[in-house]
Structure 1
Amino acid sequence: MKSARKGELIFEERPFTHVLDHSQQGQRCHSCLERSEHLKKCTACGLLRYCSLACQRCDWPIHRRECPCLKQVAPNVPLDSVRLMLRILIKTQLLEKEDQSTTETVWRRTFHDLMSHIEEIQVDPSRSQQFAQIVYTLRELCQGQLDLPPVTQLMEVFGKVTINSFTICDGDLQAVGVGLYLGASYLDHSCQPNAVVSFQGQKLMVRALRDIPEVKPSNIFISYTDQLAITEDRQRQLKEQYYFSCQCCRCQDISLDRLLKSFVCPVPTCTGAVCRIQVGELLPCGSCGMNSYEESYRRKVEDTFHHLIQDLQQIEQAKKAKDLDKVLSLCQKCLNPDTVMVLHSNNLLHIQALDRGLDVAIDLGLWEQALKYGLQLIPLYIKVYPSGSPQVGLLLLKVGKLELYLQRLECALQHLQQGESIIRVTHGRFHELYCQLSELIDQCTDELRVHMEHS
């Protein structure tokens, strides 16, 4: 089979079926998932909205069966997971005697081919409860409209959807929907992937992060988890969500976890760091080798750790409540001088506080504050994310946009060009995110030239 060069599109695929995230209602089309200011409601259910007649017609084969179900429970809106299950059931019934393979991928695959992990789900209390709630809601939805298959078959479908669905993201990696992609579900996970998934509307694209000598499913790895998390958290997420453990090189590298768990060495003359591996236990400093710490320092580390955990939890709660001022206040608390004196800049909690602070400062229009956080994050992201991660490219883009707005043109151009070298690989030259980035580089170049001509 053919090879794939770094940045090359390996394949693209449209979903077997998908649903728009409820938070995006009224902002995006339910069919193509593109943002639009001119959405028209389905006149029957009043829930789904489309940007064009073409999108409505494209969605109609499924929606005409889904529509009466949604209408009879209105104004209540089923959870996204329930709607995805309903759409899967409708589509599999429609295609019961037809070929269900994808047409845009290099591998033929049917819904029947997907793994369900029923045995694991049956002994998983959380998943079993979730399944029971979905079945209860489906029965309310479908009563008098659609015949549901037996519970055993429903669990099979639930398992396949749960294990194989993808969160559909926009260019900023924000969730806009969830979908089932038969071809992409072939691909295995690695915390150090050689390929990356991006989306253009509902269309999924897989690109090579580095050269792949032979393009076949067993040679292509994408990441299922948050790559910024420490190994034990990634492993827990993989076990809980997908029922397997990862043995990749990143999971075997303990130096990264020590970096993400690091605190400032208490020796005044040392610039190194100690690692908190568990409550009350600190590894020797990586620079001076000091491993005999006073009890007061151990308590300070524990207090700092627990206070930060609580503050970050409150930040997430304030974000959900859309209380941006409180989010910013909590971020500033996490980054106060007393905390920074104990918490090493490489510590994951410090990175998370900076990350939340950057986003909320942008939302509040505090450009200088946002830039301050962004500039601190760049070397940390580069250090802890795998090479070529889109998260690094997006951060460089954010920082470059801030610097361009604040007329720090030389720095802006440098960061935008660094971001371009990553986004070109992860998203491709025709993705709208890359096009926006290219326009910013052109704008910055023009402004810098004018500035130099007048100086």
Structure 2
Amino acid sequence: MPTFLRTQEFNQLLVAFRSATLPSTKTTTKTTADNQRIGKCNSHANSSSMKSNARNGKAIKRGDRLLTEKPFTFVLQARYRKERCDNCLQACKVLKCVNCQYVYYCSRDCQMQGWVLHKIECPFLKRIYPRIVPDAARMLCKIIIKLDKGGDLVRGYYTENCSRRFRDMMSHYAEIKNDARRLEHLESLYGVLQDMMGDSVIVPNLTELTSIYGRLITNGFSILDPEINSIATAIYLGVSVTDHSCKPNAVATFEGTTLHIHAIEDIECLDWSKIFISYIELLNTPAQRRAELQANYYFFCLCAKCTDAQETHEMLAAACANKNCKEFLDINLNNCPRCDAGVSPKQRNSYNEAMSITKTHLENMKDIAYLDVCKLCLAKQKGYLHPLNVWHLKTLDAAFEAAIDVSKWAEALEFGTELVPGFRKYYGDWHPLLGMLLLKIGKIQLYKSQLTAATNNLKEAQKILQVTHGREHSLLRAQLQPMLAQAIAESA
């Protein structure tokens, strides 16, 4: 029987302000503003924390690794602390620190590696044990410790000679001071830090803490495991130079705590002002994406996709009453512009009802999807929402994961197969999520002895994931390649 870890694909970026938790990304979180993101260029580089694998002036090919970087600091999500190592993040048997009884390690080596910061953090965690420390509070604590130990001198290199330090990242201090949500979040975190750190001399004043907080929330990356589950939050200095686009030409992936940036398109040369990753979930309308970017990163997106009116039209399209017509129909029209089929009041009402019900149920299923509810929404959508309507695709995605969770393999295959064209359209041909979807479909097909289909999907998944993750990534070596070899061998 195939086994899956639940994929929470790069979305769920909303900050849980009242619970004092960090924003989590099924993609990456960072800041923008080209004219203010100037890194330091140096005559010599310390490459211990970062390697740039592409050189200025050299053409970059799809799949080239542009950057490899270790984190400035990172925090394992609290919900995983008893099942993953606090240092290497591996899911394995772990043993707790006997002093604070809060963090867990897989080995003596990992404990020793983590001791540099943990020896200072340990009494703070012990002080409030058995309380669970919000991830954002622990992250702030570790940044404060790191800076106190000379971390402000640490550089993250994004070329051989150009680097960024923690203070080079934008703090968005003015925006945060005028943002009631963020101020409330910061206030709750400050209370936790006071409980943890007491009157420690390393605790910064509120102004400095606000600047640290601003750099964290707009530059933090969610570290993802091979199945694209968010497991930790980290700050990477060098890659913070990278700006956002809703049509990125590069992606961030992870091997343990190490971040890799790979090109997913050919690029003329290594010019970081022309290299873009996505900070947010792309399976949303331009209005939704812009609102999220403005709320969380303080900029208004003017990328090609957000300024294309056709993008919104297609994402919210209705299905034409003529089943042979593939038009992205505006439900407010009286007739289909392609085939002239009429739009009846019943069709318009059914479309609006399906959209409303779907949005309500998906909002209620943010944490866990229920197969029966997903199937109810899909039944309401049938014949009224276009197959590439974004809300239909979100429902299919939730249904696919829910079917996997309850081992309904035939239904999972149906949902997953129907989902592929939408992922390809809105994520693009070279996105990790498309690769992971094809891998999962192929895995189910292999289990069900659909060997030809499994081989085809696993080969396509391999083609994509070699570009987005690199040929040596553990996802390919430990999972995909053995499955593909099995499918080929059994079909011979």
Same fold (TM over 0.5): yes
Distance in 2 between the 1:267 and 1:445 partners? 42
In structure 2, the CA distance between the partners of 1:55 and 1:287, relative to structure 1 (3 Å rule), is same
Distance in 1 between the 2:307 and 2:401 partners? 32
Which residue number in structure 1 is paired with residue 314 of structure 2? 259
Q: In the alignment, is residue 288 of structure 1 matched against residue 339 of structure 2?
A: yes
In structure 2, the CA distance between the partners of 1:287 and 1:172, relative to structure 1 (3 Å rule), is farther
Which residue number in structure 2 is paired with residue 302 of structure 1? 352
How big is the shift at 1:282? 4.9
Moved more, 173-182 or 219-228: 219-228
Distance in 1 between the 2:399 and 2:476 partners? 25
Which residue number in structure 2 is paired with residue 12 of structure 1? 68
Partners of 1:68 and 1:145 within 8 A in 2 = no
Distance in 2 between the 1:283 and 1:95 partners? 67
Q: 136, 141, 149: which is aligned to 2:191? A: 136
Which residue number in structure 2 is paired with residue 26 of structure 1? 82
Q: 316, 324, 347: which is aligned to 2:366? A: 316
Which 5+ residue runs of structure 1 have no aligned equivalent? 450-455
How big is the shift at 1:176? 0.5
How big is the shift at 1:315? 2.3
Which residue number in structure 2 is paired with residue 328 of structure 1? 371
Which residue number in structure 1 is paired with residue 29 of structure 2? none
How big is the shift at 1:256? 2.8
Partners of 1:12 and 1:206 within 8 A in 2 = yes
How big is the shift at 1:65? 0.9
Partners of 1:102 and 1:109 within 8 A in 2 = yes
Distance in 2 between the 1:385 and 1:256 partners? 13
How big is the shift at 1:25? 1.9
| One-letter amino acid of the counterpart of residue 281, structure 2 | D
Q: How many residues align?
A: 434
In structure 2, the CA distance between the partners of 1:284 and 1:172, relative to structure 1 (3 Å rule), is farther
How big is the shift at 1:285? 3.0
In structure 2, the CA distance between the partners of 1:269 and 1:372, relative to structure 1 (3 Å rule), is closer
Distance in 1 between the 2:69 and 2:122 partners? 26
Partners of 1:31 and 1:56 within 8 A in 2 = yes
Quote the sequence identity (%): 32
Moved more, 262-271 or 41-50: 262-271
Distance in 1 between the 2:174 and 2:472 partners? 43
Tell me the alpha carbon deviations over residues 301-351 of structure 1, each in whole angstroms, 9 at most, x when there is no partner.
22121111112123225x1xxxx6xx0110111112x43121221111111
Structure 2 length normalisation: TM-score? 0.84
How big is the shift at 1:273? 3.7
Q: What pairs with 1:15-414 in structure 2 (closer than 5 Å)?
A: 15-36=71-92, 38-95=93-150, 99-102=153-156, 106=160, 107-266=162-321, 270-276=325-331, 281-282=332-333, 285-288=336-339, 293-316=343-366, 319=368, 327-336=370-379, 338-414=380-456
Which residue number in structure 2 is paired with residue 453 of structure 1? none
In structure 2, the CA distance between the partners of 1:269 and 1:370, relative to structure 1 (3 Å rule), is closer
Q: Classify the secondary structure of the residue corresponding to 1:262.
A: coil
Partners of 2:157 and 2:164 within 8 A in 1 = no
Structure 1 length normalisation: TM-score? 0.91
Q: In the alignment, is residue 439 of structure 1 matched against residue 489 of structure 2?
A: no
Distance in 2 between the 1:177 and 1:79 partners? 12
Distance in 2 between the 1:70 and 1:441 partners? 45
How big is the shift at 1:275? 2.7
Structure with bigger RCO (C-alpha 8 Å, 6+ apart):
2
Distance in 2 between the 1:48 and 1:354 partners? 38
Partners of 1:39 and 1:49 within 8 A in 2 = yes
Which residue number in structure 1 is paired with residue 463 of structure 2? 421
Which 5+ residue runs of structure 2 have no aligned equivalent? 1-55
Q: Which portions of structure 1, spanning 4 or more consecutive aligned residues, are displaced by more than 6 angstroms? A: none
Distance in 2 between the 1:242 and 1:286 partners? 39
In structure 2, the CA distance between the partners of 1:268 and 1:203, relative to structure 1 (3 Å rule), is closer
Compare the two structures and name the one with the higher helix fraction: 1
Distance in 1 between the 2:324 and 2:401 partners? 35
| One-letter amino acid of the counterpart of residue 7, structure 1 | G
